[in-house]
């Protein structure tokens, strides 16, 4: 997986991409990440990357030329899928993460202020993605979310797992609760089934817990989840109204 990031704050990415699984994956060549400083593509004397909006109004807008030059440079080196991070984008889900992983090469455009000139958005952006319905200072944090979520799907990045597929959201349900030592914490015990060593019982307990948790906290996910007849039976017992 290759990522190119266009930003006016390259220093923003120094530490988050130098720790943990991402750092290891970069070292092992499983993923490559290049940061492009938008200012390097502003050839005027003042290296202007933004300017006031035509028609008036608050704030600044990213000028089209520097963005165009940065995008063209990356296009000269490969075939990137160009993603613009903004509150106006389609909201990121695990399904979209998988789509982005299939692209193998992402060019992430991090806007700030009021965003980028519409002529870039309209003619040179392949996809516009939001990490949620809220506004932050810049697209950089959204770019990090995408890099982490997509990189977890790159084989070898996530440690020995039967499969990332089994994860929460991959089956469309929330994950079951987790416990670790000590067995007794302030008088709070670990569910005895988890100490039983009976793997069939444990798996059934975990599935029931996933269904219970999802029904309680995110019933909206149940419509899209792949549910077995046994799942539906459990959900009905838990009071799920399937067609409500």
Residue in the block written with tokens 């903004």: 86
* Options 74, 139, 174, 231; binder of ligand 4FD; rule CB under 6 A: 139
Q: How many residues comprise the chain?
A: 244
Q: Interface with ligand 4FD includes 80 (CB under 6 A)?
A: no
DSSP labels for 158-181? S-S-S-GGGSTTTSSSPPPP---S
With binding defined as CB under 6 A, does residue 87 bind ligand 4FD?
Answer: yes
Whether 133 has a binding-site annotation, put simply, is yes
Residue 130 within binding range of ligand 4FD, rule CB under 6 A: yes
Q: Is 138 in the site for ligand 4FD (CB under 6 A)?
A: yes
C-alpha 151/C-alpha 30 separation (Å) is 9
Nearest approach, Cβ of residue 111 and ligand 4FD (Å): 3
d(CA 111, CA 161) in angstroms, rounded, equals 36
CA 136/CA 53 separation, integer angstroms: 20
Q: What is the 3-state secondary structure (H, E, C) of 180-200?
A: CCCCEECCEECCHHHHCCCHH
Residue nearest to ligand 4FD (CB): 115
Measure the CA–CA gap between 114 and 109, rounded to whole angstroms: 14
Q: Positive or negative CA dihedral for 176, 182, 185, 191?
A: positive
The token pair that represents 134 in the structure block: 């809220």
Q: Does residue 53 touch ligand 4FD according to CB under 6 A?
A: no
Alpha-carbon span 72 to 88, nearest angstrom: 24
Question: Is position 7 an interface residue for ligand 4FD (rule: CB under 6 A)?
Answer: no
The count of C-alpha atoms lying within 13 angstroms of the C-alpha of 63, restricted to the half-sphere facing its C-beta, is 17
Write the interaction track for ligand 4FD spanning residues 97-126; mark x where CB under 6 A is met and - where it is not: --------------xx-xx-----------
Distance separating alpha carbons of residues 25 and 32, to the nearest angstrom: 8
Smallest gap from residue 87 Cβ to ligand 4FD (A) = 4
Interface with ligand 4FD by CB under 6 A: which range of 6-14, 18-26, 30-38, 131-139?
A: 131-139
137 versus 185: smaller Cβ distance to ligand 4FD: 137
> x/- site string to ligand 4FD, residues 160 to 199, per CB under 6 A?
----------------------------------------
Complex with ligand 4FD: residue 59 or 191, whichever CB lies closer: 59
Residue 20 among known ligand-binding residues: no
Rule CB under 6 A: is residue 57 a binding residue for ligand 4FD? no
135 annotated among ligand-binding-site residues: yes
CA distance 5 to 16: 14
For binding to ligand 4FD (CB under 6 A), which residues are involved?
85-87, 111-112, 114-115, 130-132, 134-136, 138-139, 142
List the binding residues: 111, 131-136
């Amino acid at each position: 997986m290759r990522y190119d990031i266009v930003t006016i704050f390259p220093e923003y990415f120094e530490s988050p991409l130098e720790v943990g699984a991402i750092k290891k994956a970069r070292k092992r060549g499983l993923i490559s990440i290049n940061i492009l400083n938008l200012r390097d593509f502003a050839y005027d004397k003042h290296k202007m990357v933004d300017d006031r909006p035509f028609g008036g109004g608050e704030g600044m807008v990213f000028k089209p030329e520097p963005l165009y030059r940065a995008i063209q440079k990356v296009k000269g080196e490969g075939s990137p899928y160009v993603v613009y991070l903004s509150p106006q984008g389609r909201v990121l889900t695990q399904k979209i993460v998988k789509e982005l992983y299939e692209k193998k090469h992402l060019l992430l455009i991090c806007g700030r202020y009021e965003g980028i000139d519409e002529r870039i958005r309209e003619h040179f952006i392949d996809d516009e993605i939001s990490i949620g319905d809220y506004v932050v200072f810049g697209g950089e944090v959204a770019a990090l979310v995408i890099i982490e979520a997509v990189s977890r799907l790159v084989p070898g990045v996530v440690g020995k797992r039967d499969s990332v597929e089994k994860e929460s959201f991959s089956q469309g349900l929330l994950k079951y609760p987790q416990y670790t030592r000590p067995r007794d914490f302030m008088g709070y015990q670990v569910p005895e089934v988890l100490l039983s060593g009976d793997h069939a019982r444990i798996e059934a307990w975990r599935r029931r817990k996933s269904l219970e948790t999802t029904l309680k906290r995110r019933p909206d996910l149940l419509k899209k989840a792949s549910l077995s007849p046994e799942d539906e039976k459990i959900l009905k017992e838990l009071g799920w109204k399937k067609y409500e």
